[in-house]
Structures are given as structure tokens and as C-alpha cells.
Amino acid sequence: MKRHCLLSNMLGLCSGALLTAAGITLSFNAYAKQSVFLDSNGQPIPYDVLLQLSSGTNKNKIERKNTDSTLIGNVKSTAKAGLKSKKNLRPNPELEEELFHALKAGQTQRANQLLKMGTPATFKNYKGETSLGIAVSRGWASMVISLVENGADLKEEGARGVTLLHAASARGMTDVAKLLVKYGLNPSQKTDINWTPLHVAARYGHWQLVQYFLSVGVDPDIRNSDGKTALGLAQHLRHQGVIKILSPVTTRRSLDFSEARSKTKKKTSRKKKSKAKKSKRK
């Protein structure tokens, strides 16, 4: 009997090690006989997020735990459903503000209730904060989906042209960043000082996001207004994981401060000369 238990324990440990090596994190329920996908914090990933982030071949392999609910479909169909729902939304400033404050206080259950009631997600406070901005900054991927379907503006921008994708990149919110791109945000969009989301992810050492942005075609040779490439930012802060990813694909070196300054002076002088020529012609 003891030998049998010992053998079972060894087999359990081996299977767990194999799953870990394969990069799959599963939580087994002996009674329900179901498996749950977990995120990096050990929390279950919501089904709708898994469905949105999965490829077309894998969507059919994901089984829903709740058989009473219906499948959402891919991102395009979800976006279309969101557009249809936006037309049926009725503005209610009080409920919109309540939704915003519920999210800010972390009351996601109340926020979901308000969204199910059809509350639009268009409220913006005097600081320019929105419900969608809060959900993005906190990494609530499933909430981002619900807010977009309830009228939230994906293309909202903060100071200096910072988009929601830049905000997600700064915090390392990989799942949220993928959703924003799939919903239509440009992964190569620059801020007013020419920072792409790749620059931001490299600056903060988020190598998973760096890999993702390269996979969707963001140019690693783009320089920001300081003349820095994403690789240059990573090297300055010694983010070794990011450096390993960007070194083989970056062909343009970062400029130092004096080079970047002289380059901007040349650009401004060219603009002035072209304006002067145009005024003379007139």
C-alpha cells in the first residue's frame, strides 16, 4: 500500500513538472473534473478573454464551463456586436458617473451590473479620466471588452498624445494590449515626442510586450525625439531580457543628446527655409 502511494505521488510530481515545462498552468478540480487557465498572478483567466486572445484554430478547442451561456465569437464579430449595442444605448449621466466611480473604487461587480443594464461607458471627469482608462491601467481585460461594447472610446488620448496602448505598455498589461490592437489601435502609433508602444515596453523592461509588438510589425529602428531606439532605452536601464530580443533585429543605433539636438535643429531650419520660400512665391 505504501509503495503504491509513493508511486502515485511520484507520477503526480512528474506530470506537474511536464505541464510546467510546457508553459501551461492548470488548476485541477477533483470533483468537477475541469481545468482552469491561470494568469501570472495565479488567478483564473475569464473565458471571454481567452476567446478573444486565442487564434482561429484554438477557439474551437476552448470549452466553456458554463453551458447555459452562448459563445461570443471572434474579435470582429464582438466588435460588430458592440457597434450595434452602441446604437441602442441611452445616455444616462448619473449611471455613467456611477459606473466610473465603481471602477475607480475597484467595485467590479457593481460595474458589471451597470453595464448589463446598458449603461454607456462615455463618462470623463475633469482630469480627463475615463472608465476604459481605469480598466486598462488595472489590467482588467474582460472589463475592457465590456466597456468597448458599451460605447467606450478606444481612441481616447491623454497628455502629449499618450494612447491607451501606451498606458497598457507602461504597466506590462500584455493581454489588454493585445485586445486593444485587435480592436483596432495602431501598435506603431507615436506620441507627441515620437514614443511608440514598443519604446514604452522596452523602457520598463516588459519583454513579453516587446516580443508581441515585434510580431505585429512595429519597427525597432524608430527613434524617439531624443534619438533613442527601443534597444537604446533598454540598454540604458540594463533590461537584459529586452536587450536579447531587440539586439538581433535593431539595425539603427541610438543618438546621444548632442546628435539628437543637432538633428532637430536641422529639421527646424529646413522647415523655416521651406516656409520662407513659399512666402516669397506668394
Q: Is the pLDDT of residue 5 over 80?
A: no
Which among 95, 175, 112 has a CA at the least distance from the CA of 146? 112
Rounded mean pLDDT of 171-194? 96
Rounded mean pLDDT of 7-22? 44
Provide the greatest CA pair distance for the chain: 100
**Residue 280 is inside which H or E element, if any?**
helix 257-281
Rounded mean pLDDT of 109-127? 93
Reading the block at residue 211, the C-alpha cell is 516580443
Q: Is the pLDDT of residue 123 over 80?
A: yes
Q: Is the pLDDT of residue 217 over 80?
A: yes
Residue span(s) of the chain under CATH 1.25.40.20 come to 177-267
Q: Return the axis-axis angle of helices 141-149 and 174-182, rounded to nearest 10°.
A: 30
Residue 204 CB coordination number (10 Å)? 18
**Secondary structure of residue 55 in the 3-state scheme:** coil
In this structure, what DSSP letter does residue 256 have? -
CA-CA-CA-CA torsion sign (262, 268, 273, 274): positive
> What is the length of the chain?
282
pLDDT band at 235 (very low <50, low <70, confident <90, very high): very high
Class of domain 177-267: mainly alpha
* pLDDT score, position 37: 61
Reading the block at residue 22, the C-alpha cell is 510546457
Rounded Cα–Cα distance for residues 182 and 151 (Å): 17
236-258 pLDDT per residue, tens: 999 999 999 999 999 999 987 66
* pLDDT score, position 51: 65
Rounded Cα–Cα distance for residues 140 and 189 (Å): 22
Which among 199, 188, 196, 192 has a CA at the least distance from the CA of 234? 199
Q: Is the pLDDT of residue 22 over 60?
A: no
Question: What is each CA distance from 49 to 20, 78, 142, 153, 179, in whole angstroms?
Answer: 22, 12, 6, 19, 9
CATH code for 74-153? Answer: 1.25.40
Q: Are 235 and 256 in contact (CB under 8 A)?
A: no
